[in-house]
């Protein structure tokens, strides 16, 4: 896996918004029918609500229909960070050696996480979660 990962360039990884490692599920867990996870219908409702929030937010912005379509100018307007969130992101960028493109991707993912939580503004926990979705950057 490390050999394969080493063939992927940093600029290519920067263009992938979310990368996480998913461990194998033990067979015993696969056989369980009483999984306590969130039902798909509940997740679908939350995703649809987040998409509606984004469509409303960007209805006057040409070419932008969701957070992924935001340019730098729109990010400054729609994704402001408070001081705590900004310093958390700055520390992560310095520690992980992330690029400016990764910085933008993290903010867009954090905006989506905030939308899924029906939060009006990006908070430090949204930034932290988005940083955690950059697993492959940790191996660089």
Q: pLDDT digits over 93-139, tens only?
A: 999 888 888 899 999 999 999 999 999 999 999 999 999 998 666 54
More confident residue, 38 or 16: 38
Domain boundaries in the chain? 39-139
Residue 78 has a CB neighbour count (10 Å cut-off) of 18
Instruction: Dump pLDDT digits (tens) for 18-47.
Output: 877 778 888 887 777 666 778 899 999 999
Beta bridge partners of 86: none
SS3 content of the chain, % helix, strand, coil (to 5): 65, 0, 35
Give the pTM: 0.82
DSSP codes, 74-113: HHHHH----HHHHHHHHHHHHHHT--HHHHHHHHHHHHHH
More confident residue, 12 or 67: 67
- Six-digit token pair at 91? 């520390």
Residue 30 has what pLDDT?
A: 74
């Amino acid at each position: 896996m490390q050999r394969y990962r080493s063939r992927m360039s940093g600029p290519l990884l920067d263009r992938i918004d979310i990368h996480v490692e998913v461990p194998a599920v033990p067979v015993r867990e696969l056989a369980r029918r009483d999984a306590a996870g969130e039902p798909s219908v509940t997740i679908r409702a939350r995703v649809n609500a987040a998409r509606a929030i984004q469509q409303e937010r960007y209805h006057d912005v040409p070419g932008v229909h969701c957070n992924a379509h935001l340019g730098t100018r729109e990010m400054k307007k729609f994704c402001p960070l408070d001081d705590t969130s900004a310093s958390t992101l700055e520390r992560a960028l310095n520690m992980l050696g992330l690029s400016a493109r990764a910085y933008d991707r993290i903010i867009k993912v954090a905006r989506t996480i905030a939308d899924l939580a029906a939060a009006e503004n990006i908070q430090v926990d949204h930034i932290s979660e988005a940083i955690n979705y950059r697993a492959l950057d940790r191996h660089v």
